[in-house]
Structure formats: structure tokens, C-alpha cells
């Protein structure tokens, strides 16, 4: 593995996300020009194509629950879902979205590196826009492998850097100049979105993330580039 952005300590990152929780969904939609909805759908499709019958599902770094609720809505069967985040303010937003549901939903404030679930207890795990915020991604992937049942799928959706020189230049300019300003205007927190910009630019490339899954023991790994490489899905199966 190469570089992983760890300038901020977990406690400061936790506090930062807490400060933007209430505006998080609105700001994400604005910053991504609503492309994040397409990326989220592709993440869900990746899981469902790999494992059509999910009974127990875990969403790590769940934030406001947008991914998890979309996954449950697309599922044909009743699911027991675990939504884990280290930020209580984010979980509070996720709880507020819960409606009368056929599914059993558990909200867990916890660490994605030390998942408080038994070994071989879930069929699918997702983490969207979160693994670059984890202090030790290797530890997180190891614990995901532990909690997955054989045949289970792990799918990561992360913001990444395009490889095309022209698109890469425009992307860098957007991250450095535009994103923090929009973050300040919509969430009143320029620093949080400066962190987002820095963490995207400093995190390991998708190829290294895929290699990490392979080295952990995942098989049938795939890397799916979205919107010219602005976002990428990396997935694998525990066989």
C-alpha cells in the first residue's frame, strides 16, 4: 500500500462529521451534481448481482443511511440490516429516516475496524465514501472478511482521481478551489470539505484497494470505474 490520508485523528474526524450531519445529504447532492445517486445505485447493483439473496446486511460508515435504505428498498426479501457509524449525529439522522418497515434495522455507533458482530454473521457488507476516513483500511478489510459468511460480498464505493490527464486536471481544480467554497456556503464548514478534498487526493488508488482485498483473501474481485474515474467501486467475494 502507498499513501493513506491520516493527517486528522479519528476524534477530530468524528467531530467534523458531527458538525455537518444535518446538511450532509443536501451538500452531497450539490457537490456531486446528483451523480452520487447513480454511483449509489451501481453499488447496490454490484451487491445484488453477486449475492441475490441477502438476509443479513451491514453498511459501514453508514452516515445518514442513504445507501442502506436504498439497498433495503431494492431488496425483494426481508432483511436484517446493521447500520454502523462512529458519529452519533450521523446515526441520529439515519434513525430519523426510518419508517415502518418489513426489515429489522439496528443502529450501531462503532468502529469500522472492530465490527461488533459475530464471525460469519452477514451476507453482504458495503462501505460508501468511508474507507478513506478509516485510520487503518487493512484492519477494516480484515474484519469485514471475518464477519462475512462464505459466499458473502464486500463492495466499496469511494471517490477517486481520474486517470485521464485532462479530466484529472479539472478534477483537481474542482477539489481544491470549488468544493471547499460550496461546503462553506451549504454546511458552514469550509474545513470539513477541505479535508474531503485532501483525503480524496491522498488516498490509495483503486488498484491498490483491489490488491488489498485480494491479499486479505477475497476472490472474484472487480474494479468498476464510474463517471470517468471520479468514483470507483471495488468488490470481492469471500469464498
pLDDT greater than 90 at residue 180: no
**For position 102, what pLDDT does the model report?**
76
Quickly state the pLDDT bin for 186 (edges 50, 70, 90).
confident
State pTM to two decimals. Answer: 0.94
Question: What are the angstrom distances between the C-alpha of 169 and each of 44, 93, 173, 175?
Answer: 30, 35, 6, 10
pLDDT greater than 80 at residue 39: yes
**For position 219, what pLDDT does the model report?**
99
**For position 2, what pLDDT does the model report?**
40
Determine the average pLDDT of the residues in 176-195: 86
pLDDT tens figures, 91-139: 999 999 998 677 899 999 999 999 999 999 999 999 999 999 999 999 9
pLDDT tens figures, 50-105: 999 999 999 999 999 999 999 999 998 999 999 999 999 999 999 999 986 778 99
Determine the average pLDDT of the residues in 141-170: 97
pLDDT tens figures, 2-33: 444 454 578 888 999 999 999 999 999 999 99
Nearest by Cα to 200 from 230, 156, 163, 155 = 230
What is the homologous superfamily of the domain 10-237 according to CATH?
Answer: Vaccinia Virus protein VP39 (3.40.50.150)
Domains of the chain by residue range: 10-237
pLDDT greater than 90 at residue 215: yes
Q: Which residues are annotated as a binding site?
A: 64, 85, 111-112
Q: Which residues are annotated as a binding site for S-adenosyl-L-methionine?
A: 64, 85, 111-112
Task: Report the 3 state secondary structure along 87-153.
Answer: CHHHHHHHHHCCCCCCCEEEEEECECCECCCCCCCEEEEEEECCHHHCCCHHHHHHHHHHHEEEEEE
DSSP string, the chain: ------SS-HHHHHHHHHHHGGGHHHHHHHHTTTHHHHHHHHHHHHHHHH-S--SEEEEET-TTSHHHHHHHHH-SS--EEEEEES-HHHHHHHHHT--S-SSEEEEEE-BTTB--S-TT-EEEEEEES-GGGSS-HHHHHHHHHHHEEEEEEEEEEEE---SSHHHHHHHHHIIIIIHHHHHHHHHS-HHHHHHHHHHHHHSPPHHHHHHHHHHHT-EEEEEEEEGGGTEEEEEEE--
Amino acid at each position: 500500500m502507498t499513501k493513506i490520508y491520516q493527517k486528522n485523528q479519528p476524534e477530530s474526524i468524528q467531530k467534523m462529521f458531527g458538525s455537518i450531519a444535518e446538511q450532509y445529504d443536501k451538500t452531497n447532492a450539490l457537490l456531486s451534481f446528483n451523480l452520487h445517486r447513480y454511483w449509489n445505485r451501481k453499488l447496490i447493483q454490484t451487491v445484488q448481482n453477486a449475492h441475490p439473496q441477502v438476509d443479513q446486511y451491514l453498511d459501514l460508515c453508514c452516515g445518514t443511511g442513504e445507501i442502506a435504505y436504498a439497498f433495503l428498498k431494492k431488496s425483494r426479501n426481508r432483511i436484517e440490516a446493521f447500520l454502523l457509524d462512529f458519529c452519533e449525529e450521523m446515526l441520529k439522522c439515519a434513525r430519523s429516516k426510518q419508517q415502518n418497515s418489513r426489515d429489522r434495522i439496528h443502529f450501531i455507533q462503532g468502529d469500522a475496524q472492530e465490527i461488533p458482530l459475530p464471525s460469519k454473521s452477514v451476507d453482504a457488507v458495503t462501505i460508501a465514501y468511508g474507507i478513506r476516513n478509516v485510520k487503518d483500511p487493512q484492519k477494516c478489510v480484515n474484519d469485514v472478511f471475518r464477519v462475512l459468511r462464505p459466499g458473502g460480498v464486500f463492495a466499496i464505493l469511494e471517490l477517486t482521481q481520474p486517470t485521464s490527464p485532462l479530466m484529472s486536471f479539472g478534477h483537481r481544480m474542482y477539489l481544491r478551489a470549488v468544493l471547499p467554497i460550496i461546503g462553506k456556503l451549504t454546511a458552514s464548514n469550509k474545513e470539513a470539505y477541505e479535508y474531503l478534498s485532501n483525503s480524496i487526493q491522498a488516498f490509495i488508488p483503486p488498484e491498490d484497494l483491489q490488491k488489498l482485498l485480494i491479499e486479505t483473501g477475497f476472490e472474484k474481485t472487480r474494479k468498476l470505474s464510474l463517471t470517468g474515474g471520479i468514483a470507483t467501486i471495488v468488490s470481492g467475494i469471500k469464498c
